[in-house]
């Protein structure tokens, strides 16, 4: 039996509708933002919200693609990795159609390929792999010692006070919490090894259902919310915490997530993110997630276009 969630999107929108109205607001829970609904065999529909003006948030597309893939595997299998490429900008006023190809269904692992399509063109492609969990010997990277989440403000609450009009249009700001510890007072200097690091506590603002697929989709969404900005924080404070305009333009190129152990995305997750390279206007960013008890639960990596704002036009 395949997973039944997160394929719960309540909408009458059709792929043929010219301008469906998703009606996402800052009150929309994360579970709704990562959900899709069945359309035809191995085809699903999703609705996006803007992560940048007139552009769908990439992490939402990746999360919905994982939801679509997960709906086609047996319920005893959970995601263990995904690897995706952002090919074109997605429009928040158009339905996204997810086409799932069942690449392999073995005794332990299942692989799926997903293409996210708008207006007949692929905007995102992804390969995801699922596994039947087994018990065996374990080890993992020890969690860093950092301040607790209640020692720093939610950066989106700060953003609301600094830029209320922008906040009112940012659906993601109402769906997730993010607290940088310690709160930065200026740009973050590289460490002696050349990496620029930052620690962030993240979680869904609303409770999520007890389905591992939902939590994997939610973590995928969370992993895209701040990771690309690791390449910019040596030049400026992350945007929700600053009053002045940005100096760096960013656009995601690709995204990968590895799910190591069970976790809940509606409980605090510590993300240590690091930008280890910037070259040829591309930033490479890595992140590791730990649960509150110090268990390493996931890793992520992302490459993004990085451009100083003397010329902000994306090269994608």
Do 171 and 50 contact (CB within 8 A), yes or no?
A: yes
What integer best gives the mean pLDDT of the chain?
A: 90
Residue 27 confidence (pLDDT)? 78
Residue 280 confidence (pLDDT)? 96
Strand order in 296-308's β-sheet? Answer: 37-40, 43-47, 95-105, 109-118, 121-131, 78-86, 248-259, 296-308, 282-290, 269-279, 196-204, 176-181
Where, residue-wise, is CATH 3.10.129.10 in the chain? 30-131, 149-308
Residue 26 confidence (pLDDT)? 72
Taking only the tens place, the pLDDT of each residue in 160-195 is: 999 999 888 889 999 999 999 999 989 999 999 999
Cα angle 2, 78, 31; round to 5: 80
Do 231 and 283 contact (CB within 8 A), yes or no?
A: yes
Whether pLDDT at 69 is above 80: yes
Top-tier CATH class for 30-131: alpha beta
> Superfamily assignment of 149-308 in CATH?
Hotdog Thioesterase (3.10.129.10)
CA distance 42 to 243: 45
Whether pLDDT at 8 is above 50: no
Q: What is the average pLDDT across 136-158?
A: 95
Q: For residue 216, give the 3-state DSSP assignment.
A: helix
Question: What are the phi and psi torsion angles at 79 (to 5°)?
Answer: -65, 140
DSSP state of 236: S
DSSP state of 195: -
Q: What is the average pLDDT across 49-67?
A: 90
Q: What is the average pLDDT across 245-256?
A: 94
182 preceded by cis ω (within 30°)? yes
Residue with tokens 């090894």: 193
Residue 169 confidence (pLDDT)? 85
C-alpha count within 13 angstroms, C-beta hemisphere, residue 198: 28
């Amino acid at each position: 039996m395949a997973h039944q969630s997160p394929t719960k999107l309540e909408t009458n929108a059709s792929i043929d509708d010219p301008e469906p109205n998703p009606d996402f607001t800052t009150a929309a829970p994360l579970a709704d933002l990562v959900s899709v609904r069945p359309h035809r065999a191995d085809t699903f529909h999703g609705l996006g919200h803007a992560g940048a003006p007139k552009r769908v948030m990439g992490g939402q597309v990746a999360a919905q693609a994982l939801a679509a893939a997960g709906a086609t595997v047996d319920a005893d299998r959970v995601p263990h990795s995904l690897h995706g490429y952002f090919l074109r900008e997605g429009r928040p006023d158009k339905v996204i159609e997810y086409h799932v190809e069942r690449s392999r269904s073995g005794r332990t692992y299942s692989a799926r390929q997903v293409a996210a399509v708008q207006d007949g063109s692929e905007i995102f492609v992804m390969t995801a792999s699922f596994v039947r969990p087994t018990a065996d010997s374990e080890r993992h990277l020890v969690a860093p010692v950092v301040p607790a989440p209640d020692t720093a403000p939610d950066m989106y609450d700060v953003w609301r006070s600094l830029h209320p009009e922008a906040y009112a249009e940012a659906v993601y700001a109402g769906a997730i919490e993010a607290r940088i510890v310690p709160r930065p007072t200026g740009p973050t200097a590289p460490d002696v090894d050349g990496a620029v690091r930052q620690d962030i506590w993240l979680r869904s603002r609303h409770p999520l259902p007890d389905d591992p697929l939902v939590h994997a989709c939610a973590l995928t969404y969370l992993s895209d919310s701040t990771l690309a900005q690791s390449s910019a924080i040596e030049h400026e404070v992350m945007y929700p915490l600053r009053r002045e305009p940005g100096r760096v333009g960013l656009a995601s190129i690709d995204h990968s997530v590895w799910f190591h152990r069970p976790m809940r995305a509606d409980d605090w997750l510590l993300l240590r993110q690091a930008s280890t390279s910037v070259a040829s206007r591309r930033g490479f960013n890595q992140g590791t997630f730990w649960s509150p008890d110090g268990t390493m639960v996931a890793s992520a990596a992302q490459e993004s276009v990085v451009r100083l704002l003397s010329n902000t036009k994306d090269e994608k």
